[in-house]
Structures are given as structure tokens and as C-alpha cells.
Structure 1
């Protein structure tokens, strides 16, 4: 018998058997290791995407909301605060628009400054600021309608937005500028309504159970 025949006879019984235990160990542990590395790689990739994607955008939106809260809140707080010491002057300003019935001008003039102060504070400290933003947006629309009304009717008045008010000379009116200002504040208020979540919000500490659902940060 030749060496080749002897070798073939020795290997033939092993043809249908599995590989050696060492080979099995290598085969068994190779796939999980590779899969683990792949999973970790995917997890790292997804984690990086999450950190640099939506959360970053939400943080930016939150700081924008904070800026708008403080800005619009300060405007309304100041607008109301300067009217309170001179409510009778504001009554004259409201009557100059010639929109409300005479018997309603005094109640409106007496209540509105306190409402402005309240919603201004709510926006600044960040408590129920979504409601405050909606209220400011509504009031700004009312103010713009009133300004457009006197503009169209040819009535010359000082808007009385920050005190004063009453009739003025036609060349002293600033209707266009006031409409632009109110439009900008309206847009900022609507941002707070739809993106209410923001840092430095007192609502998160006083009423943490109230979720601002339906709006992203």
C-alpha cells in the first residue's frame, strides 16, 4: 500500500464529522463578537446622531423661546406699569379711538394695564407662559385692528401704548411703525405659544406635573 492510499484511508472516516472543538469555539465566538462590535458601532452612531440632531435643535428652540418670553414680557410689563399711575389719562386715550361705547371706555382703561402687567410677569418668570403668549397675541391683534381703524377713518391719535395717548396732529401719528412693531411682537408671542418649553421656566419647578404637550421645545 502506498503512502497516498494510507493517507486517504485515514481521512475518509473523518469526512462527515464536525470540526474540532477548537474550531467550534472559534466559530461560535466569532459571530457574537462581530455582532457585538456592530451593535456597539450602531449604538454609538445613533447616539451621536441623537446628540447632534433633534436634541440640539430643541435646546436652540428653547433658548429662542426664553429670549422671546423675556422680550415680549418686558414690553407688556412696562406698557402696563406706566399706565397704572395715570389711569385717567389712559381713559382719554381709549376714548380717542372712538371704537368702544362711552360707558365701556373707563372699565377697559382701568383693567387693561393690570392685565398687561400680569401677562408680562407670567412670560418673564415662565409660568403659564403659553397662556400668556396666547393672550398677548390676541391683545396685539386687537391693538392692530384699533390702529388700522383710526388710520382708515382719518383720526389722528397717539396710540397710548406706553402711556399718554389722546388726539395729536396728523403728522405726529406713527400708525405704520406701530403696526410693524405689533406684528413682530405678535410673531414672537406665537412662537411662545407653539414652542413653549424653555429653560429658566418657573412652571417646571412649581407645576412640574403640567406637561406642555403638542409643542416641541
Structure 2
């Protein structure tokens, strides 16, 4: 099968498997074509008695509610951003791991008005948390302050660096962290493979004579395949949460987010299996390189735009122990560059092998 046909076959298989997975989902709100959420804005300084959905407010109304002590302000950002500055007396409930704040949420009065905010209009964490409060927890009056912390800070309104109320989470650290193990394996393997490649090309000379003659062409395939399979697991189980992760990057139209949330994890799984078992290697390698370039662009634009978001690379929800999501993104970008380099080295070595065979 030609290179182009391999790529078409892999994409087609991912779409078919994704649609099969979609047919077995029991979430009626998860549709194939995602509907863009539209939040109604309150035009007056009055909270409706019977709200049918969370509603947006401007900074003037938010300030009025704050001054009159008519609402509890909830910061949906991660703890690192919250501690760097937030609305005075706001409670921090990071959306990415709200389940670990159940005790704090249970202590809230669900009949009182709650104003949820994050990092401004480019941040959807406030809307996500508002939906959870209103639809899942049945909070009666949930408002979204779309201007968020940046607008409040620029208006020089009451702010503080840390909360007077300590919110304890129920998260527990585990000794076995597969995510960290994969990171270390990636770094060590990438260094070893790079040294081997540079050695056989004659660019560097190493004291280990046997390194040049080692046949390690299968090692990049195994590592890349294992990473892809691990990355796909949680996303296949929970495509709705992965679609929310995609939305938080603010790069794709809302209509395609659910489709991407369904198909992309299956593409990762297929590539992982094909790389490990040596199936359609030419097409699988090219798609691997393309995917990692795409991942690097997606993560980098989030860092440069200051978007506060969980990567969603291996898990659909962030660990509660993660304090700085931005540093998490930067770490992932570095790892993706290593994996991309690994894929390039494998592709280049195959070309060298094929070229040497043609000259024999």
C-alpha cells in the first residue's frame, strides 16, 4: 500500500472507530456537532428569581454585588493563578479538579447568589464551572463575570493575593505516577537514540564502540507507540471531557470539538498499535510527526496567549496537586519536541537503511 493510501486508511479507521464509540455513549447532551454555548447577559442590577441557566454580568453589576455583599465570588482558575491575585474574599474552586473540592462546595449555600469568574473572555473555565454548579448541583443563582480577574484588576477593585479561608482538598498523592515514569523514559530514550543516530552518522565519536553497531530502530517505535496508547486511554473512555479540553484552547470552531474529541483518541490508539507491531510504518511515522507538530503548535499558542488550561494530553482532568498549569504546558511542549525528534530520527534512519540497500 502506498504512503498516501496508508494515511487515508489510518484516518478512515479512526473515524469509523470513533463513530462506533459515539453510538455507545449514554450522554444525550454529547452530540456529534457541538452547539456553541450562548450565555444571556443581565442588563439590570437585578438577579432573576427563577433562573433557567447561568447568566453573564458586567463589571458594574459584579462590583455592586461585591460592595453590597450579595454574592459569593468563586475563582475557577488553578491555585497558582489564584494565589498570584484574585477578587477579595473569592473562594478558589479550580474547574479542572472540582471533584477534589467537594467538601468546600457542599458547605456553600445553593440558594445564595454565586458569581464565577476566571481569566477573562478567552477563558471558559468560569462557564464550565457555572454549568456544573447550576445543572449538576442545582445551585439556584449562578452568574458568570465574563471580564474576570483581568478586568477586575485593571479597574483597581478590591483584590488580594491569598484567601483568608483555606480550602482543603481530598486529593492524595500516590507513590506510583505513570505520567512521571513516561516523562523520564521519554527523556532518557531520546538522549540515547539521539547519541546513537549522531554516532552512526559520524557527527560525534563515543567511547562505547558497540553503540554504533546496535540495532535500536525498533526502540523509537515502541516508545512512541506506548505513549500514544497511554495518551488515548482516558480520552476514549470520556470523549465529552476531552472535547471540553479542546474547547479550552480556543483554537477550533465549537462545531468540530466533539468530532475531534471522538476521532483523535482513536487515531492515537491506532498509531500506537501500528508503530509497536510494525504495521503501515511509513504512513504511521508521517502521521506521528504531523501530530506532534500539531500538538506543539496547540500547546505553544496557549502559553503565549496566557490561556489557563489543563493540557488534556494524557488525562481529561488535571491532578489536584498540579499548582501551575502553565508550567505543565511548557513541560509537555518539551516532551513533545523530544518525541517529535525521536520520530524524525526513526524516519531518517529508515531512509539511511533503504539508501544503503539500494547501493549494495
Q: Residues of 2 paired with 1:196 and 1:74: CA distance?
A: 20
Q: Does 1:134 align with 2:308?
A: no
| Greater C-alpha radius of gyration | 1
Q: Residues of 2 paired with 1:157 and 1:170: CA distance?
A: 12
Provide, for residues 51-97 of structure 1, a one-character-per-residue CA deviation record: whole Å limited to 9, x for no partner: xxxxx98852xx32211110011000111122101111100001010
Provide, for residues 115-153 of structure 1, a one-character-per-residue CA deviation record: whole Å limited to 9, x for no partner: 000000011011222321211111111111011111111
Match of 2:254 in 1: 102
Match of 1:162 in 2: 314
Match of 1:143 in 2: 295
More helix by proportion, 1 or 2? 1
In structure 2, the CA distance between the partners of 1:128 and 1:195, relative to structure 1 (3 Å rule), is farther
Q: Please report how far the alpha carbon of residue 192 of structure 1 lies from its aligned counterpart in structure 2 after TM superposition.
A: 2.0
Gaps of 5+ in 2: 1-209
Q: Does 1:68 align with 2:231?
A: no
Gaps of 5+ in 1: 1-55, 198-211
Counterparts of 1:138-217 in structure 2, within 5 Å, are: 138-165=290-317, 171-173=324-326, 174-196=328-350, 213-214=354-355
In structure 2, the CA distance between the partners of 1:145 and 1:170, relative to structure 1 (3 Å rule), is farther
Q: Residues of 2 paired with 1:110 and 1:88: CA distance?
A: 8
Q: Do the aligned partners of 1:129 and 1:196 also contact (CA within 8 Å) in 2?
A: no
Please give the secondary structure, in 2, of the residue aligned with 1:152.
helix
Deviation beyond 4 Å, 4+ runs, structure 1: 56-59
In structure 2, the CA distance between the partners of 1:59 and 1:119, relative to structure 1 (3 Å rule), is farther
Q: Does 1:79 align with 2:231?
A: yes
Q: Please report how far the alpha carbon of residue 215 of structure 1 lies from its aligned counterpart in structure 2 after TM superposition.
A: 7.4
Q: Do the aligned partners of 1:131 and 1:193 also contact (CA within 8 Å) in 2?
A: no
More strand by proportion, 1 or 2? 2
Q: Do the aligned partners of 1:196 and 1:215 also contact (CA within 8 Å) in 2?
A: no
Q: Please report how far the alpha carbon of residue 164 of structure 1 lies from its aligned counterpart in structure 2 after TM superposition.
A: 1.3
Q: Residues of 2 paired with 1:69 and 1:181: CA distance?
A: 16
Matched positions, count? 144
Provide, for residues 98-126 of structure 1, a one-character-per-residue CA deviation record: whole Å limited to 9, x for no partner: 00001011111110000000000011011
Q: Residues of 2 paired with 1:159 and 1:75: CA distance?
A: 15
